[in-house]
Amino acid sequence: MASNIPIFLSSLLLLLLSSTLTVHAEDPYRFFTWNITFGDIYPLGVKQQGILINGQFPGPQIESVTNDNLIINVFNSLTEPFLLSWNGIQQRRNSWQDGVYGTNCPIPPGKNFTYILQVKDQIGSYFYFPSLGMHKAAGGFGGFKILSRPMIPVPFPPPAADYTLLAGDWFKANHTDLKAILDGGNDLPFPDGVLINGRGPNGNSFTVEQGKTYRFRISNVGLTTCLNIRFQGHTMKLVEVEGSHTLQSTYSSLDVCMGQSYSVLVTADQPPLDYYIAVSTRFTNPVLTSTAILHYSNSAGSPVGSPPGGPTVEIDFSLNQARSIRWNLTASGPRPNPQGSYHYGLINTTRTIRLANSAPVINGKQRYAVNSVSFIPADTPLKIADYYQISGVFSVGSIPDNPTFGGGYLQTSVMGANYRDYIEIVFENYETTVQSWHIDGYSFFTVGMDGGQWSSESRKGYNLRDTVNRCTVQVYPKSWTAIYMPLDNVGMWNVRSENWARQYLGQQFYLRVYTPSTSLRDEYPIPKNALLCGRAAGRRTRPL
């Protein structure tokens, strides 16, 4: 606990002073100053207005080590409000830093806000992204890796290099046009292409030396489609999924759904040439494919043949692959023994929440919903309204625990939950499109996944031994996915579709994990630098 105390003294000067004074007890600090601007980008050959961070698209990568304190001062030089959020970064006791509209006031144009995050007890591969409107369609995202502390063993030899590969579908229309399409009650069109690290076909080259092994941290930062990735002539050894070290199985192609992150090892064990890295849209017709180059430093020439083909619309292949991904129970996580004396499969759940997605038309417009409720934002961030006890912004219990199968309706939906409960969530997909669900502030055990309708009998097939612990999970068409989640993080947390059109049109809600305790051990107080807006404008973050 002592190591967290300086966070409350949130003036940077005090932070620096106290960290200097207690240097031995202190987890390290890393400082970032980011300037967010609009700038021209040409990822598919046409000029677009991109969101740049310090002039870069994608934005700079965050490299950190377990328990680091990250002080990220974000200057919004756009002409519109802006927020960054951190996909998969748990921010324990600190939903104040989550950077979604339910927790934070947008940073006004010309202003700045300093995020103070601690990557407490985490390792793994993640990304950050701009959370408001359709900003994500313009860039503003980047990789976010958390390395193990030096004394914690990693279950594979250090790779010769650690590459980040951010892939995603891409639209030539700009974010304001895409938002207007959605605001008009329409679906997005089919994407125009796939980008890898912000570039179109063969815009990226990853150099490898023959005989050496490389880590690729792959995240799907796109808006609407799952992806499949292949390395021509090479295999991928899966080693990490959103912070869990996996049993190291080998794959020739890997599905990565919206918002998901995977680490693979690729050994340069082929004749010295260039090879395609192919990324295609999954479960779509047509299929969009883009490529990058795996370049041997002693390469004799360009890639031979065409990029390797992969699975396209097949669902069973993907379902079987997802189920084959297991946790390595003997490997370290953020601590030497990730399991300790607690095992997720031996604890009885205290509550079951079933969440069904749907696509209702409400007031003549296409919307998306969870248990028939299509989320609409309030005039004040929910976390801030909760803190100041401003009534009328939202009510706890405004989304049911089970599907209603009734007509859709608009609501600022917040589900209540008790700190320390151990819950089962079943995501039920009665639609014909694949879903990808993410829960902020948490990671969870994906205990089951299957076609058809979930029932209590489905529990007999759960993997209660060695499934991975992750933060984003897919649900196949006409299928279900079940997770177990210990509610160990107090706060207001966004539960959302990672399909960005669906998220924007209401397939999300907030989970308010509550304790009556006001102890700092359970939740941090509002940051002194918190921006206040809506009905909280003019309040104080500290007593006079």
Ligand X SMILES: *[C@@H]1O[C@H](CO)[C@@H](O)[C@H](O)[C@H]1NC(C)=O
C-beta of 64 vs 328, nearer to ligand X? 328
- Could you give the 3-state DSSP secondary structure of residue 345? helix
C-beta of 237 vs 478, nearer to ligand X? 237
Q: How far is the CB of 305 from ligand X (least distance, A)?
A: 32
Identify the helix (H) or strand (E) that includes residue 71.
strand 69-76
Instruction: Tell me the C-alpha distance between 93 and 70, whole Å.
Output: 15
The CA angle 435-440-443, to the nearest 5 degrees, is 85
Q: How far is the CB of 177 from ligand X (least distance, A)?
A: 5
Choice from 18, 61, 176, 312 touching ligand X (CB under 6 A): 176
Cα-based distances in Å from 60 to 12, 43, 162, 442: 22, 17, 15, 24
Residue 207 sits in the site that holds ligand X (CB under 6 A): no
Residue 349 sits in the site that holds ligand X (CB under 6 A): no
Burial of 540 (0-12, 13-18, 19+ CB in 10 A): exposed
Q: How far is the CB of 542 from ligand X (least distance, A)?
A: 14
Residue 18 sits in the site that holds ligand X (CB under 6 A): no
Q: How far is the CB of 60 from ligand X (least distance, A)?
A: 14
Choice from 35, 61, 267, 458 touching ligand X (CB under 6 A): 35
Residue 263 sits in the site that holds ligand X (CB under 6 A): no
Under the phi-then-psi rule, with left for phi > 0, alpha for psi from -120 to 50, and beta for the rest, what region is 23? alpha
Choice from 341, 348, 455, 456 touching ligand X (CB under 6 A): 348
Cβ 274 vs Cβ 247: under 8 Å: no
Q: How far is the CB of 96 from ligand X (least distance, A)?
A: 12
C-beta of 78 vs 292, nearer to ligand X? 78
Choice from 3, 18, 37, 202 touching ligand X (CB under 6 A): 37
Residue 114 sits in the site that holds ligand X (CB under 6 A): yes
Q: How many residues bind ligand X (CB under 6 A)?
A: 23
- Per CB under 6 A, the segment of 1-9, 109-117, 250-258, 460-468 that binds ligand X is 109-117
Residue 418 sits in the site that holds ligand X (CB under 6 A): no
C-beta of 57 vs 296, nearer to ligand X? 57
Residue 56 sits in the site that holds ligand X (CB under 6 A): no
C-beta of 24 vs 47, nearer to ligand X? 47
Instruction: Tell me the C-alpha distance between 279 and 244, whole Å.
Output: 23
Residue 235 sits in the site that holds ligand X (CB under 6 A): no
- Could you give the string, one character per residue 241-260, with x where binding to ligand X holds by CB under 6 A and - elsewhere? ------xx------------
Instruction: Tell me the C-alpha distance between 219 and 143, whole Å.
Output: 8
**Phi first, then psi: what are they for 286, rounded to 5°?**
-75, 180
- Could you give the 3-state DSSP secondary structure of residue 344? helix
| Alpha-carbon dihedral 86, 88, 92, 93, rounded to 10 degrees | 60
Report DSSP letters for 168-236, one per residue: EEE-SS-HHHHHHHHHTT------SEEEETTB-TT--EEEE-TT-EEEEEEEE--SS-EEEEEETT--E
SS3 sequence of 277-312: EEEEEECCCCCCEEEEEEEECCCCCCCCCCCCCCCC
Choice from 252, 306, 330, 350 touching ligand X (CB under 6 A): 330
Residue 171 sits in the site that holds ligand X (CB under 6 A): no
Q: How far is the CB of 529 from ligand X (least distance, A)?
A: 4
Q: Specify which residues 217 forms β-bridges with.
A: 164, 263
Q: How far is the CB of 113 from ligand X (least distance, A)?
A: 5
Residues 67-106 binding ligand X (CB under 6 A) are 73, 75, 77
Q: How far is the CB of 11 from ligand X (least distance, A)?
A: 7
- Could you give the string, one character per residue 276-315, with x where binding to ligand X holds by CB under 6 A and - elsewhere? ----------------------------------------
Q: How far is the CB of 244 from ligand X (least distance, A)?
A: 11
Nearest to 381 by CA among 512, 185, 221: 512
Q: How far is the CB of 187 from ligand X (least distance, A)?
A: 18
Say which DSSP state 391 is in.
T
Cα-based distances in Å from 240 to 95, 218, 219, 294, 393: 25, 10, 12, 21, 40
Instruction: Tell me the C-alpha distance between 439 and 426, whole Å.
Output: 13
Q: How far is the CB of 87 from ligand X (least distance, A)?
A: 22
Choice from 104, 328, 380, 503 touching ligand X (CB under 6 A): 328
Cβ 507 vs Cβ 499: under 8 Å: yes
- Residues near ligand X (CB under 6 A): 12, 35, 37, 49, 73, 75, 77, 112-114, 155, 174, 176-177, 247-248, 328, 330-331, 346-348, 529
